A and B are shown apart, each in its own frame.
Chain A
Amino acid sequence: MKTALQIAADVQSGATSAADELDRTLGAIDARNEELNVFLHVDRDGARAMAHAVDAAVARGEQVGPLAGVPIAIKDNLCQRGIPTTCSSKILEGWRPPYSATVIDRLVAAGAVPVGKTNLDEFAMGSSTENSAYGPTRNPLDPSRVPGGSSGGSAAAVAANMTSISLGSDTGGSIRQPAALCGIVGVKPTYGLVSRYGMIAFSSSLDQIGPFSSTVADSALLLEVIAGHDPYDSTSLPEPAPSLVAHVDDGVAGKRIGLVKELYEGSSPAVIAAVMGAAEALREAGATIVELSIPELRLGLSAYYLIAPAEASSNLARYDGVRFGRRVDGEDVTAMMEATRTAGFGAEVKRRIMLGTYALSAGYYDAYYGQALKVRTLTVNAFARAYREVDVILGATTPDVAFSFGEKAADPMAMYLNDVFTIPTNLAGDPALSVPFGRGDHELPIGVQLLGPGRSEAQLFAAARVLEIADGRA
């Protein structure tokens, strides 16, 4: 499987064509999509037209973009004009967005070829893709296991070599956790680095769009393309996209890396061994490893599972059968809304809406939501303190390798605990990524997590690249 960097270089030089690369991707999708349920919709005609446009530009001798002719998979919570966008929910079945997300426009401007929309946990609520209204996605490395979630389809697209890169979104770990379980790279950028215009909102103070890829350099390239200020997103950071690909090989010499016990304790022995192995590899590359304890991070999970549902209960109020998606008739407008929401939402979405509504309701607001916002402050301050001592933090991405279908589905709290290491970063708004390192039970991949202060993506990619080389992946 070629990397996105190789595909783009070959398309630009004429060694391959965007049309041929698209054919390879469509062939790979046709071979395994029925088994794995990665794509909910494949836009063959639209992708072909975009690929031909890239090839025509090359034929005219024009300079094409950094992702010229690179097929890419898109999580189905990102709007693409005229292409069915469901958020894996029945409530949006058949809806075709009248506009495209900023990230889609930037991809197309860079020459990339969006090939289709990938499966997710309904409204990005879940850690296994089992909550999709359109059936679960299977892990390409072991189809009896989950790919993780919520961006399970986008992670599986890359792990199954359907596309070299894909886009996901990460609210509490929804990019990093499936990346770890599928053995690929996944990045949650700094809050505000990537525009969310056209992304269907789950928890607005936490959501970020980010890349998946097989290699560290491809994620750096993809993030460079989609990052940068967007006037259509008032939470977008004011500056242009940072330079990332150029710094991938900067290394970690002289860097201080914090090994934080709250970010790996309680994991399986193989995961702990992988984290220790990663620390050793970084030390050999010239970093200083500093053992740290940040007890406040233990509270992150509790705060998150009040804050995120509270914001979701507000964001999902818009699904009322009036402006988009499905409507189930009722005798008056309230009955219509209630019938629409009852039929349109799945169990996990209903659980989170109710949890959030409860946490925000009169009499409980201070005890739950108010308390969670204060705990969030503790998390933010604790990270800030740690980053005065170290440049980067190292931990595990998940407590264990990919789990089996049904293993955690009946117990929401057991499922939520899978996000315990990824959630704290989202609360702080800082960037973090997962990079494969080592193998666990059944030879399944393990992801280690690298975290840094806001806008430190270049440094995280450089550290991830060291681990990629040490793990024998490049």
Chain B
Amino acid sequence: MTTPLQRADVARVARLARLTLTDEELDLFTEQLGNVLEHANDMSALDLEGVEPTAHPFGLINVFRPDVVTPSLDRDEFLREAPDAESGRFAVPRILGEAP
């Protein structure tokens, strides 16, 4: 159904998934993921024209509850478990560069 998985594909996907791979891992994963995708190719021969996709066993529907205030989990307890927190917020390294 598609061309075999290339090393460059794996490198691109790793970047999208925010993972750094060594050269050795790139080789290994290219082979291993290629094998899984090859197995998946037995689905490509099927004529599935007109078959509806199923994303969820029973179909997801919106679920509502009465619009009343209920107790929430404790903010400080959550922030205590974070790698870094400051003034009631999660703290992260710099996101934006200096103003030009």
Contact = CB atoms under 8 A, between A and B. Distances in A.
- Give the contact-size bracket for chain A: 35 or more
A295 to B, nearest CB: 11
Nearest to A335: B93
Interface string A269-302: 0000000000000000000000000000001011
A302 B54 contact: no
Contacts of A342: 19-20
Given A313-B17, A326-B83, A416 B42 contact: no
Q: Tell me if A's interface is mostly helix, strand, loop or mixed.
A: helix
B19 A345 contact: yes
Interface string A303-336: 1011000000100000011111111011111111
Contact of A191 (B58, B77, B90): B58
B94 A341 contact: no
A361 B93 CA distance: 28
B64 to A, nearest CB: 10
Contacts of A313: 17
Given A336-B93, A342-B19, A374 B35 contact: no
A380 interface: yes
Interface in A368-395: 368, 370-378, 380
B99 interface: no
Nearest to B84: A327
A370 B82 contact: no
B95 A305 contact: no
Interface in B1-58: 1-2, 5, 9-10, 13-14, 16-21, 25, 29, 32-33, 35-37, 39-40, 42-44, 46, 48, 51-58
Contact of B53 (A99, A350, A373): A373
A338 B19 contact: yes
Nearest to A348: B32
A103 interface: no
B69 to A, nearest CB: 14
A342 B14 CA distance: 10
Considering the complex of A and B, which 5 residue pairs feature the smallest CB-CB distances, nearest first? A429-B57, A373-B53, A327-B83, A98-B77, A234-B63
Interface of B: 1-2, 5, 9-10, 13-14, 16-21, 25, 29, 32-33, 35-37, 39-40, 42-44, 46, 48, 51-58, 60, 63, 65, 73-74, 77-78, 80-84, 90, 92-95
